[in-house]
Structure 1
Amino acid sequence: MPRNIYKGQTDWNLVGVHDWTSGFWPGVLWYAYEESGDSEILADAQRFTEPLRGVLDVPVDNHDLGFMLYCSFGNGLRLTGDAEYQDFLLRAADSLATLYNPKVGTILSWPAMREKMNWPHNTIIDNLINLELLFWASKNGGSQDLYAMAVKHAETCMTALVRPDYSLYHVAVFDTIDGHFIKGVTHQGYSDDSMWARGQGWGIYGYTMCYRETNDERFLEMAMKLTDKFLERLPEGGIPYWDFDDPTIPNASKDASAAAVAASGMLELSTFMDNAGLKNKYKNAAIKMLEILSTDEYLSKDKEQSFLLHSTGHHPNGTEIDASIIYADYYFIEALTRLKKINSGSNLN
């Protein structure tokens, strides 16, 4: 599966199905099929989705099953109604649920980090996106416990991962004896107190989705607060730096993936606004970012195999800095598809 393209390369660097990004390429193909109706693209979407069945053949301990399997099998089910896809997704949801700790009230992230970092139980903001798999399963033949887990996870993260100014920690660390919050960490950001751009995007997208699935006004308000903070701190160029607090700004790396994730989330958020001013605020802000991502500065065109240039993966680790990354493409295409549906009056889902 494609994952990244570094400067000086033109072709994707590939990873196996157990990489957390493996579901995004099939997801891109499903969106391409949805827009084109092309039978060859459909065949490719099915062909690249099928190997991901192997994700569940290894021992549990994978908090990324939503990213990997809902972006691939989920989009496939939405577009084909394939009953085998539904059965597989129900299995995936049950697997993800095994990581839920009722004492803490969240799904465990990065099990291997417990000993390495001395984190008894940790949860990352990215995990909000994986809750969509649990919500879906609870409404399509799975246990109602999955719904309760997803809601509790989202509630817990509102108090642990969200700072008073509505910026986000990347990681919340919890005690496993009584479940109390120990500390917030920004593992992939500049510092523990900094505002990591993609994390803010995950929050915008995740809490908007949680509102869609629950109609809980607390989640809608949280999505709005996180979005307002993101827009307040956007630089003049309209695309976020990888971390809003990197002291090397304006020479820091940008993150097109953060812009794409946030834009997709903000477009859905706009559809939930009763106030016309707020609806236009969020929709137009998303459109502005998509327009910038569609310029020659960010759109690859024939430069390489990706759609988007200039994303940042794990900057503190020195990996995927100013690279093309597959999830940037996925959320860019999703956002464009959502915008088209909004403009035509179609249902986003």
Structure 2
Amino acid sequence: MNRLILILAMAALVACKRQEKQTTLVGSATTMTPAELASSHYKNMMSTLEKEDFPRSFEKDKLTTSNSEWWCSGFYPGTLLYLYEIDGDTVLFNEANRMLGLLEKEQFNTGTHDLGFMMFCSFGNANRLNSSADYKEVLINSAKSLSSRFSPEVGCIRSWDSGADDYIVIIDNMMNLELLFWATEETGDSSYYDIAVTHANTTLANHFREDNSSYHVVNYAPDGSGVQEKKTAQGLSDDSAWARGQAWGLYGYTVMFRATGDTIYLDQANKIAKFVMNHPNLPVDKVPVWDFDAASDAPRDASSAAIMASALLELDSYSPGQGYNALANEMLTSLSTNYLADLGANGNFLIEHCVGHLPANSEVDVPLTYADYYFIEAMLRAGRVGN
């Protein structure tokens, strides 16, 4: 009897210690660096995924996932590779490679314009860290698939497939051009480069307003006779400045200058940056609400801040002295201080309070896989992974 009481007491003590350890771990998240916290989150996430799932968000207390065809599929392996780059943890590297195996077939997907997001954020980072013929083959095939969506008549890569009378191009598509520049550099085939430049020039001519904000969606006539309509899909209104759209444009034209050296793209990136940093509705903590024309108490979109911060840090190296570095670091400080989730929360994503598609009431005030990706990328660019 005494032995049974002793065993039960010991078991209770162990359980208590285990609970105490778990509570301390969650509560001590703020003592970790963001990179350490991210690594811990992602190791937890690994254990929750079904074999072929790609994490997307955490909504209504449920992890939402996708298959490899979803436009966000490259961000999870890409984030794992960034974290591996920071700390050399092979657990993260092995999981990234597992996901690359699931993603590999998308190199032949001609039904999406998002192959830059999907394949360059994943295989592009893998090849950058450990160049291989296999990675390069996947990336070249991906560039071929993306190029198949280009129309010489319109001068753009088609974004969304729609009716025969429409040719839809969204500002997000600027983010897929980096893959094409890489393909020309790798193969010597200038057709990829030419497609990227033509797309960027057509977008520059038609997507931007006088104040240098951008429309989300431009619908061209498929025969090349011009613009049919300018509108939004995910913004507040056709004439509003959807925050993530401004981030995509800022990042995209910064990449365009890096790839070409043409100052027309640097000028455009600077104009977008000035629109953001001088906007009267940019909150004090520099994390935008989901649309710059929304009410000040509207949901924040931390993913926009992460993307902007990463772009601004690169742009600062081309246009120093404009305040871009300071703004980017203000954004990163705010995200690191008030938008990081404790361990065991947020579906094991790092960044909280993002908005995917508010007009459709989809992914509102939730984590988003690309917010984590661009936040870690920005922290790497800022040299802040240790604090």
TM-score, normalised with respect to structure 2: 0.82
Residue 65 of structure 1: aligned partner: 115
Q: 2:125 aligns with which of 75, 78, 81?
A: 75
- Tell me if structure 2 keeps the 8 A contact 1:119–1:173: no
Match status 1:331 vs 2:374: yes
Residue 289 of structure 1: aligned partner: 331
Structure 1 position 342, deviation (Å): 12
Match status 1:105 vs 2:155: yes
- Counting only pairs closer than 5 Å after superposition, residues 89-104 of structure 1 correspond to structure 2 as 89-104=139-154
1:313 is aligned with what amino acid?
G
Match status 1:200 vs 2:246: yes
In structure 1, how many angstroms separate the alpha carbons of the residues matched to 2:61 and 2:104? Answer: 33
- Counting only pairs closer than 5 Å after superposition, residues 243-322 of structure 1 correspond to structure 2 as 243-246=291-294, 249-273=295-319, 275=320, 277-278=321-322, 281-295=323-337, 297-302=338-343, 303-304=345-346, 305-322=348-365
1:59-86 deviation digits (Å, cap 9, x = unpaired) = x221000000000000000001121000
Structure 1 position 176, deviation (Å): 1.7
1:174 is aligned with what amino acid?
Y
Unaligned runs of 5+ in 1: 344-349
1:165-187 deviation digits (Å, cap 9, x = unpaired) = 10110011111223412221121
> Secondary structure of 1:139's match?
helix
In structure 1, how many angstroms separate the alpha carbons of the residues matched to 2:329 and 2:75? Answer: 22
Which moved further from structure 2: 48-57 or 209-218? 48-57
2:111 is aligned with what amino acid?
D
In structure 2, how many angstroms separate the alpha carbons of the residues matched to 1:342 and 1:230? Answer: 25
Which moved further from structure 2: 334-343 or 67-76? 334-343
State the aligned residue count. Answer: 329
Larger radius of gyration: 2
TM-score, normalised with respect to structure 1: 0.91
In structure 2, how many angstroms separate the alpha carbons of the residues matched to 1:145 and 1:238? Answer: 39
- Tell me if structure 2 keeps the 8 A contact 1:90–1:142: no
In structure 2, how many angstroms separate the alpha carbons of the residues matched to 1:264 and 1:307? Answer: 16
In structure 2, how many angstroms separate the alpha carbons of the residues matched to 1:119 and 1:292? Answer: 45
Residue 236 of structure 1: aligned partner: 284
- Tell me if structure 2 keeps the 8 A contact 1:109–1:123: yes
> Secondary structure of 1:63's match?
coil
In structure 2, how many angstroms separate the alpha carbons of the residues matched to 1:250 and 1:339? Answer: 28
Match status 1:153 vs 2:175: no
CA distance 1:96–1:57, change in 2 (3 Å): closer
The structure where helix makes up a greater share of residues is 2
Residue 209 of structure 2: aligned partner: 163
- Tell me if structure 1 keeps the 8 A contact 2:108–2:141: no
Residue 219 of structure 2: aligned partner: 173
In structure 2, how many angstroms separate the alpha carbons of the residues matched to 1:315 and 1:155? Answer: 30
In structure 1, how many angstroms separate the alpha carbons of the residues matched to 2:361 and 2:369? Answer: 18
1:204-224 deviation digits (Å, cap 9, x = unpaired) = 100000100000100001001
Identical-pair percentage: 41
> Secondary structure of 1:173's match?
strand
Structure 1 position 57, deviation (Å): 5.0
Match status 1:22 vs 2:73: yes
In structure 1, how many angstroms separate the alpha carbons of the residues matched to 2:376 and 2:269? Answer: 21
1:100-119 deviation digits (Å, cap 9, x = unpaired) = 010111000111xx22xx86
1:105-157 deviation digits (Å, cap 9, x = unpaired) = 1000111xx22xx8611111000010000010011015211100100101111
> Secondary structure of 2:181's match?
helix
Match status 1:47 vs 2:98: yes
